[in-house]
Every structure is written in C-alpha cells, then in structure tokens.
C-alpha cells in the first residue's frame, strides 16, 4: 500500500549517504524530538498510519491485526500488534514453516470479571502479555471494556460488567498483568461502543452525566489505576461526533483530565477524515489506508493539518516504540509456558463460574454416571466469535473429557445419539464448513426431541441429568430477543428431563454455557441445580467438572443482572433487539464508513441510539425502581455459607475504611466475595441510584470454621455524582450508607458515616445535540 520500508531504506542509503549520514540520529528514548526533526513529511504521514492487515501477502505474524511503520534509516523498527482479551490471536501455522505457534485460549472477559478477583485478572493479563512477548510481538489489543449497557450486545462476552467500577478495576489489573511483561496493553473501545448493529455509524446519544458516570468511568479507572500504554477509540459516535475524531474525548478528557500520556489508536478502519483524527489526538490510524496517506499529505501541505499536530502525534508514537520489545530486540523464544497458562485458565475459569441454584444437587457424587442432554454438552463453547473471541488453538477440553477426567461416566447411549445429531446439525447449518469469522455457530442448532419413554429409561440408568444450554455471540452482530429466550425445544428438553429424573427420585442440573445472560425466570424452578459456566477457554470441560465434582467450591458472582425477561431493563426500549434485516447488521459495515447505507432516513437504534435510561443501567435501574430480577448483579452461591461479623467503618482523612470478618460457617473450604455498595443521601434534583458498587474484594480460601478479616477503602471523592449544571463531580454532604453485601439485592451489614461535601470542576464538553427523554428517579 505504501512505499515499502525496504525501498525507503535503499533510497535513504543511496541519497542520504554522505553529509546527512554522519549526523543522522538513531532513535533512543532520549532523542525523540531530534528524530522527529529529522523525519520527512512522507515518513511522518506513514508513521501515523498502520501497515495494513496482511491479508493475501506474507507477513511476519500471520493472522494478527497489524504493525506500525518502520523507518530503518532512523532506527525506528516496526512494532506488532494482535487481538485479543481471550488470548493472543495469531495463526498457529505459517507458510514455509513446519513448526507451530499455538497460543492459550483463555476465558471470555465476562467469565474473568465473574471471579471478582483482581489478581486473577492480573494473572490472565500476564499470561497473554508473556505469550505476546515470547512470540515476538509488542502490543495486545486488549482489554475490551465497554459497559454492558444491554444484555444483547454481541460483544458482551468481551466486556466485563454492567458496572463501571467492576469493569474498570478488573481492566486495570489485567492491564498491569500484560504490561508487567513489557508488552503494551490497549484499553478499548473508547467509548460507549455498546452495540454491534451498524457499529461504524451508530451515534450513541446520551447525557453528560451518563457519559461521565457510566461510559467513561470504567475507562478512567483503567487509565488511572492500570496506566495502559495505549487506548483505542471506537467506531461509533457519541453525541454526534465520531470518537476517533473528537478531541474533547481524547485530548481534553483522556489526556488533560485523567493524565493519560500514552498512544491513542483508532479502531480498525474507523473514522472518515484522517486529518480530523490527527487533530483530535488520535495519534495513529490502523490498519492504514492509501487514501488516508494522501489526505494527510495534502492537508499537511495546505495547512489544514498543522505540522505541530503531526509532530505531536509522531512523538507519541515514538515514545511508544522505544518501550517495545521490538525496539529492545528482545530475543523471543517462540516457547511461552503454555502448560502453566492452561493451568491458570482451568483454575480461573472455574473461579468465574456462578452457581445460581442448588437444591442439594451439587456437588455430584464421586464416580457418578451422568446423562448429558443438549447439543452444547457435546460441543462445548470455549469462547466468543470475532477478533475478540477465542481462536480454538491447540485444543478445547470437551465437557465429556472433563467429566471423565473427574472420574465420572458419561452415559453412552445418549452420547452416541448426540454425536450423530451434532454432526448432522453442523452439516445442515454449515454445508461448506464453519466460517472462520463464524457468527453464532450452534445457536441455531435444533435440539433432539426425545420420547418421554426414552428420557425415563435414561433417568433409570443414570445418577443425574445434566442439561447444557449454549449461546455464542461475537463481533459484528448483536444477539436477538429470540436468542435471549430459550427455544421451544430447549424448554421441552428441560421439562422432560426434570419430570423423568424427579419421578425417579434423582436430580437435574442445568449448565449455561453462554456468552451473556439468558432467560431463566420461567423455568428455573423446575431444576435442582443451575450453574452459569460462561465460556472459560481451552480448559472449559475441566473447569466445569471441577465445580460439578466439588474439587473447586464455586465463588463466582454475576457481573451483570439476569433480568426476568427481555424488555424489563430500561435500556431495552432503545436497543436493536429484533434486527432481522441484514442490511442493518454491522457485518456489512465492518470495514469503513464509506460503505454505509445513507439513502434513507436515520433509523432509531440503527443510525442513532438514545440512551434514555440515562444512568439507570443494569442493577442501577432494577434496584432503584424496585423491579424484580431473576438473579441480581453480584449474586452467586457456594457449597458453603459465610457469615459477616464485626463490621465497622473508620474514617482516615478523606478515606472511609470498612472492615469485616468473613466466617466460613459450612463444612467446605471456600472463597467469598465481599461487595461494598454505598447509598448516597437522596438528592431530588439530581436523582441518585439506590446504591452503587464502590469497592469489593475476594477472600482467600477460608477453611470451615475459620475467618478472614477484609478491609475495603472508599475515597470520599469517589462518592461523587456528575452535576451537569456545574460541570462538576459533586459529593453531597450528608450521611452515606456503606452496605456490605452478597449481591445487589442482599445486604449483609449496613454501616453509615457522615461525609463532607466536595466539588471537582471538569470541562463542559460532549453535550448531546438533541433533546433526550431521560429517565428520572
């Protein structure tokens, strides 16, 4: 696409040799300004653009996302980047190369956040950072951390939570883990990229308060606590301006207010006007296009793109380059410790599984005979699809294998029947093989309809019925209302299996091998055990079996509400939940804004989405408006029970310190999550959520009868709400309730403290350009 590096090198050697060669600097961390001065305009315009994605040509790391431009004459090497938050996304095989390059398939982000364990996030980040480094790359395009505004967003498996504090803190530790290896993290997609439908052109329209308190807050925490080297802007617009062309977002808020001093990069092929992106401080456009190069050259010459701006962006890129493994010529091994990373995936995958119901069904008796029902039971899903999904690298441990590893038997007649059925369904759905960028692979598989007699016979011959429900989603398409609900045949299967097993005096357990919440309210009373396994990477079968067998005591908590039905959440009113017309799907818009369908009136939820629910997303809505849910945010059971004793609150300056003893009251060792919500005094003008998560922690393994004292700190300034009139974060003076909880709906201990008022002014930017019909409390 551009003059190759080689050419530049040759030209430089031929023409530049002589007078310049002597004085020509080579890039070091302390001569960046001097190197920028040496660069030609062409070189600068090349450097701010990526080098393409490498489809159809030989590249150094096949199957990765791209690289940065090299200028050998100035000692500027290429650096290399790859997706994703589930693991290094790179082809395992290369042309003309007989060895393989497998990477670890880790758990989905939603599964990681369900651990509520910052150290787990650190460890996964570190593993991915290490694989990136040991395979010779520099930069991992993760974490994705958009707020789960709606349960149907296709990329929710890549995101952490409906709560910005949980999202931001998990992201920060994940970033620290990556960067502890000297690999760059990339916090994305900045910001409010809450749907996939028409993602390149959708305008997220919202109040400044929702923007600040929810959609930016998680990023702010990730930036302040995690110090990522890079941030990726998004495809969408916010309040009428593309995020990669909006200096208020990237220069004013991200850099000036939050102190970010790294590199800002666009999402792949995002944006319309390269010059506007440069002006906005979107330092690099990836993967780079010829027309962007031409535009930058032209605008640099005609003055629309001032040299000072181009130099500033170039300088930031060079500051990134000098930190890279490539710059240091790191002697990578091509042999990361995949064995250890698989162990981490297994342990952390299990820690993120959430036990939703247990009427004496779990753990299963050792050596029991399991009847597995449901196609997904035989085709377990390790992760999502799209660039942020799983690669299915060297292997996926199936559920059958996991159960067998745990000493259980999987009922053979059913297994044989499902083997045939799954193969036939795959052929029916994908006659030409599974597409590599597969959308919803088995979601549309039909379940087997069995006779009652058949199920009764199976129940008679086995110890427990385990029904597996699967949902897969990913980049470029949102889920639909139909997928949120269980399909008729799935419901029939659950009913039939429950009846037969209960008739036989046996238990039924349902496993949700899902990418995000599904409907559970209408059928959960039929079953004895319900485990949300999420999608936990290559070790998924082992992780599930570890929970079912009791080897691991469940300790995951929901990072997102399981609502009773679709339509219950305030954001459901403004989300493309029923898009059937493929013209509106994002797939067609994946590679650029110029391909948009513009010959029609702007459509709600397609071309723009009104965030009318305002700050009432997830539990902030259900909790504040007293709406019942199936399972609340923060919920999850254990095989033991915990008591909370000696709760107290102390104040140290502007800091509130809550301490509580967690006591294991049962007969199994277990870990517990302590959630701290804070309820602010009522403020009629502003309207406050009933309570908000302000801190949390996870205990170590507590033995039966033993206790652990946990300490949770909250800074007074973090209790602020955003006041639009004053454009300030305002902490109202008054009595605040500090609620130690085991879910948003279950308060264990309530404490209170007087808090002084305080105010922090910020820039009044990113206002909505239309009138929104905002929800008030």
Tell me, what DSSP letter sits at residue 603?
A: P
First to last CA, the chain: 54
Q: Whose Cβ is closer to ligand BGC: residue 65's or residue 716's?
A: 65
Around 232, how many Cα atoms within 13 Å sit in the side-chain half-sphere? 30
3-state class (DSSP) for residue 370:
strand
Among 44, 46, 188, 557, binds ligand BGC (CB under 6 A): 188
Read off the tokens for 479. 């889920």
Tell me, what DSSP letter sits at residue 742?
A: E
At its nearest, how many Å lie between ligand BGC and the CB of residue 220?
A: 20
Q: Whose Cβ is closer to ligand BGC: residue 144's or residue 640's?
A: 144
Neighbouring residues of 155: CB distance < 8 A, sequence distance ≥ 6: 144, 146, 193, 196, 384, 386, 388, 473, 474, 475
Binders in 369-388 for ligand BGC, by CB under 6 A? 387-388
Distances, alpha carbon 698 to alpha carbons 117, 241, 475, 671, 702, in Å: 6, 40, 31, 7, 11
Among 102, 139, 165, 268, binds ligand BGC (CB under 6 A): 268
Q: Whose Cβ is closer to ligand BGC: residue 188's or residue 691's?
A: 188
Q: What distance in Å separates the CA atoms of residue 33 and residue 13, rounded to the nearest whole number?
A: 23
Among 65, 76, 254, 381, binds ligand BGC (CB under 6 A): 65
Number of residues lying near ligand BGC (CB under 6 A):
8
Q: What distance in Å separates the CA atoms of residue 426 and residue 419, rounded to the nearest whole number?
A: 11
At its nearest, how many Å lie between ligand BGC and the CB of residue 499?
A: 45
Binders in 82-141 for ligand BGC, by CB under 6 A? 83, 141
At its nearest, how many Å lie between ligand BGC and the CB of residue 397?
A: 27
At its nearest, how many Å lie between ligand BGC and the CB of residue 720?
A: 31
At its nearest, how many Å lie between ligand BGC and the CB of residue 65?
A: 4
Q: What distance in Å separates the CA atoms of residue 176 and residue 166, rounded to the nearest whole number?
A: 16
Burial of 75 (0-12, 13-18, 19+ CB in 10 A): middle
Q: Whose Cβ is closer to ligand BGC: residue 260's or residue 387's?
A: 387
- Closest to 467 (Cα-Cα) out of 533, 387, 401: 533
At its nearest, how many Å lie between ligand BGC and the CB of residue 399?
A: 29
Q: Are strands 409-410 and 369-373 parallel, antiparallel or unpaired?
A: parallel
Binders in 667-726 for ligand BGC, by CB under 6 A? none
Q: Whose Cβ is closer to ligand BGC: residue 53's or residue 459's?
A: 53
At its nearest, how many Å lie between ligand BGC and the CB of residue 84?
A: 7
At its nearest, how many Å lie between ligand BGC and the CB of residue 89?
A: 8
Binders in 471-490 for ligand BGC, by CB under 6 A? none
Residue 80 interacts with ligand BGC (CB under 6 A): yes or no: no
- Closest to 574 (Cα-Cα) out of 217, 194, 298: 194
- Closest to 248 (Cα-Cα) out of 292, 279, 215: 279
Residue 636 interacts with ligand BGC (CB under 6 A): yes or no: no
The secondary structure element, H or E, covering residue 472 is none
At its nearest, how many Å lie between ligand BGC and the CB of residue 115?
A: 23
At its nearest, how many Å lie between ligand BGC and the CB of residue 5?
A: 21
Q: Whose Cβ is closer to ligand BGC: residue 199's or residue 698's?
A: 199
Residue 267 interacts with ligand BGC (CB under 6 A): yes or no: yes
- Closest to 672 (Cα-Cα) out of 648, 628, 634, 702: 702
Interface residues with ligand BGC (CB under 6 A) are 65, 83, 141, 188, 267-268, 387-388
């Amino acid at each position: 696409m551009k003059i190759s590096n080689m050419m530049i090198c040759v030209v430089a050697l031929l023409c530049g040799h002589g007078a310049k060669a002597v004085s020509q600097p080579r890039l070091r961390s302390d001569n960046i300004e001097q190197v920028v001065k040496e660069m030609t305009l062409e070189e600068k315009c090349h450097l701010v653009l990526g080098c393409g994605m490498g489809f159809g040509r030989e590249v150094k790391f096949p199957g990765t996302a791209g690289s940065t431009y090299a200028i050998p004459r100035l000692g500027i090497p290429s650096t290399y980047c790859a997706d994703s938050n589930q693991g290094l996304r790179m082809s395992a095989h290369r042309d003309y190369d007989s060895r393989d390059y497998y990477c670890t398939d880790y758990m989905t982000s939603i599964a990681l956040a369900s651990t509520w364990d910052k150290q787990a996030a650190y460890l996964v980040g570190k593993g991915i950072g290490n694989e990136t480094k040991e395979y010779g790359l520099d930069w991992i395009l993760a974490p994705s951390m958009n707020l789960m505004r709606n349960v149907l967003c296709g990329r929710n498996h890549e995101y952490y939570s409906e709560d910005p504090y949980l999202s931001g803190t998990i992201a920060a530790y994940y970033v620290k883990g990556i960067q502890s290896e000297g690999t760059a993290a990339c916090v994305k997609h900045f910001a409010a990229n809450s749907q996939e439908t028409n993602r390149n052109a959708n305008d997220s329209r919202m109040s400044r308060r929702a923007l600040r308190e929810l959609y930016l807050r998680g990023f702010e925490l990730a930036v302040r606590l995690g110090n990522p080297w890079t941030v990726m802007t998004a495809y969408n617009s916010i309040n009428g301006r593309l995020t990669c062309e909006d200096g208020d977002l990237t220069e004013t808020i991200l850099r000036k207010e939050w102190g970010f001093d790294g590199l800002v990069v666009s999402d792949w092929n995002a944006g319309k006007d390269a010059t506007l992106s440069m002006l906005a401080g979107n330092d690099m456009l990836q993967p780079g296009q010829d027309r962007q190069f031409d535009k930058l050259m032209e605008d640099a010459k005609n003055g629309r793109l001032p040299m000072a701006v181009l130099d500033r962006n170039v300088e930031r890129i060079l500051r990134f380059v000098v930190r890279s493994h490539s710059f240091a010529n790191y002697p990578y091994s091509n042999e990361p410790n995949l064995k250890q990373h698989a162990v981490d995936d297994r342990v952390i995958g299990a820690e993120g599984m959430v036990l939703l119901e247990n009427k004496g069904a779990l753990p299963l008796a050792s050596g029991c005979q399991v009847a597995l029902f449901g196609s997904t039971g035989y085709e377990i899903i390790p992760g999502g699809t799209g660039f942020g999904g799983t690669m299915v690298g060297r292997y996926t441990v199936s559920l059958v294998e996991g159960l067998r590893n745990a000493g259980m038997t999987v009922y053979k007649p059913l297994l044989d029947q499902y083997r045939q059925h799954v193969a036939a369904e795959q052929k029916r759905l994908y006659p030409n093989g599974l597409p590599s960028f597969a959308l919803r692979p088995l979601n549309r598989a039909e379940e087997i309809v069995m006779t009652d007699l058949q199920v009764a016979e199976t129940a008679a011959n086995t110890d427990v019925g385990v029904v597996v429900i699967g949902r897969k989603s990913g980049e470029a398409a949102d889920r639909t209302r139909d997928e949120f609900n269980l399909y008729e045949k799935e419901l029939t299967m659950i009913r039939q299996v429950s009846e037969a097993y209960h008739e036989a005096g046996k238990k039924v357990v349902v496993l949700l091998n899902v990418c995000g919440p599904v409907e559970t309210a209408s059928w959960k009373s039929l079953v004895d055990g319900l485990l949300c396994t999420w999608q936990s990477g290559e070790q998924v079968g082992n992780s599930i079996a570890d929970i079912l067998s009791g080897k691991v005591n469940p300790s995951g908590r929901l990072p997102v509400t399981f609502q009773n039905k679709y339509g219950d959440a305030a954001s459901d009113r403004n989300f493309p939940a029923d898009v059937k017309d493929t013209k509106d799907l994002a797939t067609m818009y994946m590679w650029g804004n110029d391909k948009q369908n513009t010959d029609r009136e702007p459509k709600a939820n397609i071309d723009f989405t009104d965030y009318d629910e305002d700050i009432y997303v997830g539990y902030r809505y259900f909790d504040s408006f007293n709406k019942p849910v199936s399972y609340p945010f923060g919920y999850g059971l254990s095989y033991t029970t915990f008591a909370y004793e000696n709760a107290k609150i102390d104040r140290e300056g502007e800091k509130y310190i809550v301490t509580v003893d967690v006591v294991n009251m049962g007969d199994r060792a277990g870990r517990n999550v302590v959630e701290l919500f804070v309820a602010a005094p009522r403020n009629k003008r502003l309207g406050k959520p009933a309570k908000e998560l302000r801190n949390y922690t996870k205990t170590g393994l507590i033995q039966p009868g033993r206790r652990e004292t946990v300490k949770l700190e909250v800074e007074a300034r973090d209790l602020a709400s955003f006041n639009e009139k004053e454009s300030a974060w305002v902490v109202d003076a008054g009595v605040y309730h500090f609620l130690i909880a085991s879910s948003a709906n279950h308060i264990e201990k309530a404490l209170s403290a007087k808090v002084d008022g305080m105010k922090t002014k910020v820039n009044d930017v990113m206002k909505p350009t239309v009138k929104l019909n905002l929800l008030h409390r």
